[in-house]
């Protein structure tokens, strides 16, 4: 389990349990106390958790917004480069889907600043708000149950809605990328809605920063052959062998 996955898991546990004993947490995550204390220190410095004697708890003020935007800051320079590259594939009057990732949020900011007259569907409220800064865009939010940790709508309502919507280009990120098997997600609901959108789009654009290379997670999402363009921040020889002219970096 990578550091990012581990810290996400800690936040998920705190969202469910409200607080956690450090020794119990180390056993559940199957990590050493040294590793866990390092993760706790980083989460505390980011303002995402509070510490008390022998344990930790989620921060009481606006954890959902803090968590999303703190996640956006991870490898932000790489995400900025990827979003700028992705922007080149977006043309006026196109119909797009942007997933709930922080990379697509950055792409949405750039779309609002530099593109006009697009039809855009998303299941992320922050992404929708960023797009609405430009009144020429028609923005559709897939409604449903709100995941208040990330500002994302989840469940059968957005999934059923996306079954009826057709888009030309879908822009996705992922939790992990395996050179042999393709993309993975940490959460089943993230994988589910992406698969539904993929069935109803013409092209899949995968936006993946290099920190996710050579890793796997819980839910397999896309095979390598399903991806039309793989956009990343740095050239990688193994990636070129896999994607050839589908690689953008």
Domains of the chain, by residue range, sit at 3-61, 71-248
Model confidence at 64, pLDDT cuts 50, 70, 90, reads: very low
DSSP lists the bridge partners of residue 56 as 20, 51
Whole-prediction pTM: 0.75
Q: What is the rounded distance in angstroms from the CA atom of residue 215 to the CA atom of residue 46?
A: 25
Per-residue confidence (pLDDT) for residue 60, from 0 to 100: 60
pLDDT band at 217; cut points 50, 70, 90: confident
Yes or no: say if 142 and 178 are a contact pair by the CB < 8 Å rule.
no
**What does the pLDDT look like over 149-203, one tens digit per residue?**
788 998 899 999 999 999 999 999 999 999 999 999 988 888 999 999 999 999 9
Q: How large is the average pLDDT for residues 64-88?
A: 83
Mean pLDDT of 54-68: 65
Spatial CB neighbours of 62, under 8 Å, sequence gap ≥ 6: none
The per-residue pLDDT for range 108-149, each reduced to its tens digit, is 999 999 999 999 999 999 999 999 999 999 999 998 888 877
Q: The tokens of 157 are what?
A: 């309502």
24-38, 83-97, 144-158: least confidently modelled range: 144-158
3-61 and 71-248 have identical folds:
no
Question: Which of 5-14, 43-52, 66-75, 179-188 has the lowest average pLDDT?
Answer: 66-75
Q: Tell me which CATH code domain 71-248 carries.
A: 3.40.50.1360
**Distance from C-alpha of 54 to C-alpha of 136, rounded to nearest angstrom:** 53
Average pLDDT over residues 45-54: 83
Class of the CATH domain delimited by 3-61: mainly alpha
In the chain, % of residues over pLDDT 90? 71
User: Mind spelling out the 3-state secondary structure of the chain?
Assistant: CCHHHHHHHHHHHHHHHCEEEHHHHHHHHCCCHHHHHHHHHHHHHCCCEEEECCEEEECCCCHHHHHHHHHHHCCHHHHHHHHHHHHCCCCCCCEEEECCCHHHHHHHHHHHHHCCCCEEEECEHHHHHHHCCCCCCEEEECCCEEECCCCEEECHHHHHHHHCCCEEEEEECCCEEECCCEEEECCHHHHHHHHHHHHCEEEEEEECCHHHECCCCCEEEECHHHCCEEECCCCCHHHHHHHHHHEEC
Q: Which residues pair with 55 in a beta bridge?
A: 21, 52
Confidence bin at 46 (pLDDT 50/70/90): confident
């Amino acid at each position: 389990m990578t550091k990012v996955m581990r810290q996400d898991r800690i936040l998920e546990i705190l969202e469910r349990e409200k607080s956690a004993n450090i020794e119990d947490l180390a056993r559940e995550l199957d990590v050493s106390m040294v590793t866990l204390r390092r993760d706790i220190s980083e989460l505390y410095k980011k303002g995402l958790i509070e510490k008390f004697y022998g344990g930790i708890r989620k921060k009481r003020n606006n954890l959902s917004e803090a968590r999303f935007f703190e996640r956006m800051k991870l490898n932000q320079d790489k995400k900025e480069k990827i979003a700028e590259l992705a922007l080149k594939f977006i043309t006026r009057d196109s119909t797009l889907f942007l997933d709930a990732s922080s990379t697509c949020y950055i792409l949405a900011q750039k779309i609002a600043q530099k593109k006009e007259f697009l039809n855009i569907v998303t299941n992320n409220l922050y992404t929708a708000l960023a797009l609405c800064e430009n009144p020429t865009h028609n923005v559709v939010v897939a409604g449903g149950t709100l995941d208040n940790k990330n500002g994302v709508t989840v469940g059968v309502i957005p999934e059923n809605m996306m079954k009826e919507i057709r888009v030309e280009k879908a822009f996705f990120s992922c939790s992990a990328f395996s050179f042999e098997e393709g993309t993975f997600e940490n959460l089943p609901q993230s994988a589910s809605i992406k698969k539904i959108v993929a069935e109803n789009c013409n092209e899949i654009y995968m936006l993946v920063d290099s920190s996710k290379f050579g890793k796997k997670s819980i839910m397999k999402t896309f095979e390598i052959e399903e991806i039309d363009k793989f956009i990343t921040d740095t050239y990688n020889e193994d990636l070129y062998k896999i994607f050839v002219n589908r690689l953008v970096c």
